[in-house]
Structure 1
Amino acid sequence: MRFLINFALVLLLVACLVVWTLLPWYAVLGIVVLLALWLAFTRTGALALAATRIGIASLPQRWGASSVIVIGIAGVVGVLVAMLAMGEGFKATLDSTGGDDTAIVLRGGSQAETNSVITRDQEPLISALPGIARGADGRPLSSPELSQVVNLQSKADGTDTNVQFRGVGPSAWALRPELKIVEGRKFGPGLREMVVGRGAQRQFAGLEVGQQLKLANQSWTVVGVFESGDSHESELWADVDVLGPAYQRQAYQSVTVKLDGKDGFKKLKAALAGDPRLKLDVSTTRDYYAKQSQQLTTFLKWLGIIIGTVMAIGAIFGALNSMYAAVAGRSREIATMRAIGFRGLPVVTAVMLETMLLALLGGLLGALIAWLLFNGHTVSTLGNNFSQVVFQFRVSPELLWTGLKWALGIGLVGGLFPALRAARLPVTEALRAA
């Protein structure tokens, strides 16, 4: 029977922790305000506050055991926030790529450029469709593109990594005004020249302006560096009509277009659906790149939660051991408080508040470490196109708040059982043992 009661209590705690981690900030603030009012304006609360002050005053005498709680929880929060910051940074990079004013056309049923094929005779038909904006020269703002994965050496460890080598049409620059040449110049049409993203240049060797790369048994000259603040900074760009023959690619993979006004996407989608020669799909570039980030972001999120949970279990056991030791060491003190009128609830609250304070310190320390070490840290990972995407860790206030909630949740579980033991400690037995 006792086993069933303990098992039910553990399940209840797990359910409470899940609810706790999902609470928004204003709900947590409401709980804190209610607790503060109870401590300030009720007799039981005042007794709990007085008992808490006594426990906190004795912390310097048992700082070694208390530091186990702080350091353990700091490690949990640091790792959790770092893992979530990786997913957040990757998602933010791809979400910032593209917009609602441009669209990408792929072969019907294709989820990414890697498995899409658009024949060269289809490209003029696509460019002539309604819904596509035209430039000052009257030509449609349309860029046929293809992507080739090439191997470059990583600056970090010298290993070969996959990098996206993108061939673009002349209108690619007008379609992506956020892309700016910051060093050198644009590649010349019809020449084996390339421009490289700043992110790619930082991560991969041999991409300085003026250097030559041997790709497809041909020499390519790096003539410029661009910045765009999105996933394109991970790429190398060249003339699509030079890149295609170099890799014996007879077709394009996608066509990116500028949409003509608010109704441009609807017109283009309807025109594609109504032309039996074009079995193609279209989506805005914002939607396309958001979908590309979804799978990896979800994976990184759950990986962080799983690793954080495993570490949290260890931190909970550390908190349990430390608080059980603290309760045992303070048995005379707790028994004396019980003898002079402190009932069970104030004692439970005092031990819980003490543990939560240590957990809060650990959470703040872990959040600070994660922010100092990882916020803005540049890395690359494999994207859906089997090439590296360069992005930065993004330690947002929301992630820091999540880490603090995990810390307080660990403190809640780690302090509950020792607090209950302290409240049930027989006065005479405690005084005799002391």
Structure 2
Amino acid sequence: MKQKLINFSIVLMLLLALVLWTLLPWYLVLGIAALLALWLGLTRSGRLALAATRIGVASLPQRWGASSVIVVGIAGVVGVLVAMLAMGEGFKATLSSTGDTSSAIVLRGGSQAETNSVVMRDQVPLIGSLPGIAKNAEGRPLISPELSQVVNLPARGDGTDTNAQIRGVGELGWAVHPSVKLVEGRRFGAGLREIVVGAGAQSQFRGLEVGKPITLGNQQWTVVGKFKSGDAHDSELWTDAETLASTYNRSSYQSITVKTEGTAGFEQFKAAMAGDPRLKLDVETTRAYYAKQSGQLSTLINALGTVIGAIMAVGAVFGALNTMYAAVATRAREIATMRAIGFRGLPVVTAVMLETMLLALLGGLLGGLVAWLLFNNHSVSTLGSNFSQVVFQFKVTPELLWNGLKWALGIGLVGGLFPALRAARLPITVALREV
């Protein structure tokens, strides 16, 4: 019983060490690598460890089948981990790039998203009269009263009904959202059941080609244009706010998007809003609003990816343990011979550890490469905060690849430790008699 507790404690300590290792910043990892390189090159024990490592690496082709278990297992861990985290990174990047710091979104006080916000129509002129708002060439304030409606559209893949978002924008909506650029067809007309579709929405849903009719709210609409924005608006359908309101019997707006006179204008507008007792509304930059919308889902995806990666990492650790134990057993005479001619325990331990971590490094590089080739810029969609599909791309960043390599090296470190200690404690006389 006592031995089991000791073993369990050791396993927990190793897992804790693995977690701490993955949290180390890059400069500490490089510092540890530099210290190891100095020890290998400048000390007698280090040079012996390096020589023993060369012997072990030279014999790898003779046992490549067993060694490939480590490489493939760790590649799988790194590939899945990087892919999952790249999903969260892509979703976060898409929403975080939406909007800017010189435009504001106005919501009902206490609302966390457009879906639960209400802005009354009689408040729109009051908002438009506040200072800090940019004006067009005719001197009109650049504000866009907007509605967001979730509709069902057939998915392009299997035709099943999927949530999509149609946004009704005001007359000056195109000027308020300058990142939205028409790339095909024309803009929708005021008072007409016409829509323009984002490039992401067109790739995700059927029947959104320019010129085609589409049924929404028991009414027939016509797709008259296609736009690109490079952000979350790519997943939307746009139409005239008043037409959308009459179709779905909406008597109020959900948000007001305002183009302000730079950052200073935003602060002036926000202060004026807070100082008007008639307007119980919240104001924040569109950049901050959309970044906040990505927070919960991005955190969930990252947590899920880390948990899945950790579970797979445990399996990879046991795979590395079994493989390296087998390698130590098959090389018993070789290790005993090195011990007999003067290789002490520390160089032998280090040699086995370095060999394992080399295989782990190969697995990490392979897993990262596969994740980058298969998933980088791969387009997918998921439910956003308004319960409609948001189209985004996986982002396999250098930081994610670096984290994947750290996981790989950590698995190699833990997986090679016990076999290395066994090799160092192997009785020389017994090992020399083994065949």
The reply to whether TM is greater than 0.5 is yes
Shift of 1:155: 1.0
Supply the AA of the counterpart residue of 2:175.
Answer: A
Q: Find the counterpart in structure 1 of residue 84 from structure 2.
A: 83
Deviation per CA, 1:357-380, whole angstroms, max 9, x where unpaired?
000000000000000000000000
Deviation per CA, 1:184-243, whole angstroms, max 9, x where unpaired?
111111111010000111111111000010111111100110000000000000000101
Supply the AA of the counterpart residue of 1:383.
Answer: G
Deviation per CA, 1:31-74, whole angstroms, max 9, x where unpaired?
11111111111110111011101111111111111011100000
Supply the AA of the counterpart residue of 2:235.
Answer: S
Deviation per CA, 1:113-172, whole angstroms, max 9, x where unpaired?
000001111111111111211111111100000000011111122211100000001211
Q: Find the counterpart in structure 2 of residue 347 from structure 1.
A: 348
Q: Find the counterpart in structure 1 of residue 284 from structure 2.
A: 283
Deviation per CA, 1:310-338, whole angstroms, max 9, x where unpaired?
11111111111000000000011111111
Shift of 1:26: 1.8
Q: Find the counterpart in structure 2 of residue 155 from structure 1.
A: 156
Q: Does 1:358 align with 2:359?
A: yes
Q: Find the counterpart in structure 1 of residue 171 from structure 2.
A: 170
Distance 2:43 2:400 in 1: 35
Q: Find the counterpart in structure 1 of residue 256 from structure 2.
A: 255
Give the 3-state SS of the residue equivalent to 2:141 in structure 1: coil
Distance 2:390 2:133 in 1: 29
TM alignment of 1:291-330, pairs within 5 A: 291-330=292-331
Give the 3-state SS of the residue equivalent to 2:7 in structure 1: helix
Distance 2:72 2:8 in 1: 29
Q: Find the counterpart in structure 1 of residue 336 from structure 2.
A: 335
Give the 3-state SS of the residue equivalent to 1:263 in structure 2: helix
Q: Find the counterpart in structure 2 of residue 199 from structure 1.
A: 200
Distance 1:87 1:184 in 2: 33
Give the 3-state SS of the residue equivalent to 2:110 in structure 1: coil
Distance 1:184 1:295 in 2: 36
Shift of 1:432: 2.2
TM alignment of 1:175-186, pairs within 5 A: 175-186=176-187
Shift of 1:410: 0.5
Q: Does 1:46 align with 2:56?
A: no
> Could you state the TM-score of these two structures normalised by the residue count of structure 1?
0.98
Shift of 1:428: 1.0
Distance 1:105 1:144 in 2: 9
Q: Find the counterpart in structure 1 of residue 374 from structure 2.
A: 373
Task: Give the CA RMSD over aligned residues.
Answer: 1.0
Q: Which moved more, 1:392-401 or 1:13-22?
A: 13-22
Give the 3-state SS of the residue equivalent to 2:121 in structure 1: coil
Shift of 1:23: 1.4
Unpaired runs of 5+ residues, structure 1, are none
Distance 2:317 2:271 in 1: 58
Distance 1:254 1:346 in 2: 68
Unpaired runs of 5+ residues, structure 2, are none
Q: Which moved more, 1:8-17 or 1:392-401?
A: 8-17
Supply the AA of the counterpart residue of 1:113.
Answer: E
Distance 1:12 1:318 in 2: 19
Shift of 1:24: 1.7
Supply the AA of the counterpart residue of 1:180.
Answer: K
Distance 1:131 1:296 in 2: 33
Q: Find the counterpart in structure 1 of residue 97 from structure 2.
A: 96
Deviation per CA, 1:232-272, whole angstroms, max 9, x where unpaired?
00000000010110011111000000112332222222222
- Give the total of aligned pairs: 434
Distance 1:339 1:320 in 2: 25
Give the 3-state SS of the residue equivalent to 1:135 in structure 2: coil
Distance 2:223 2:262 in 1: 36
Q: Find the counterpart in structure 2 of residue 13 from structure 1.
A: 14
Maintained 8 Å contact 2:185/2:224? yes
Q: Find the counterpart in structure 1 of residue 383 from structure 2.
A: 382
Give the 3-state SS of the residue equivalent to 1:27 in structure 2: helix
Shift of 1:276: 1.9
Distance 2:285 2:177 in 1: 13
Give the 3-state SS of the residue equivalent to 2:263 in structure 1: coil
Distance 1:205 1:241 in 2: 25
Give the 3-state SS of the residue equivalent to 1:229 in structure 2: coil
Distance 2:290 2:315 in 1: 38
Distance 2:320 2:4 in 1: 22
Supply the AA of the counterpart residue of 2:402.
Answer: W
Q: Which moved more, 1:178-187 or 1:272-281?
A: 272-281
Distance 2:47 2:339 in 1: 15
Deviation per CA, 1:345-402, whole angstroms, max 9, x where unpaired?
0000000000000000000000000000000000000000000000000000000001
Give the 3-state SS of the residue equivalent to 1:238 in structure 2: strand
Supply the AA of the counterpart residue of 2:65.
Answer: G
Give the 3-state SS of the residue equivalent to 1:262 in structure 2: helix
Q: Find the counterpart in structure 2 of residue 220 from structure 1.
A: 221
Supply the AA of the counterpart residue of 1:319.
Answer: A
Supply the AA of the counterpart residue of 1:65.
Answer: A
Q: Which moved more, 1:7-16 or 1:100-109?
A: 7-16
Shift of 1:4: 4.5
Shift of 1:78: 0.4
Distance 2:357 2:366 in 1: 14
Deviation per CA, 1:62-102, whole angstroms, max 9, x where unpaired?
11110111000000000000000000000000010000000
Supply the AA of the counterpart residue of 1:355.
Answer: T
Give the 3-state SS of the residue equivalent to 1:347 in structure 2: helix
Shift of 1:3: 4.0
Distance 1:79 1:163 in 2: 29
Give the 3-state SS of the residue equivalent to 1:121 in structure 2: helix
Distance 1:131 1:70 in 2: 59
Maintained 8 Å contact 2:101/2:262? no
Distance 1:305 1:39 in 2: 34
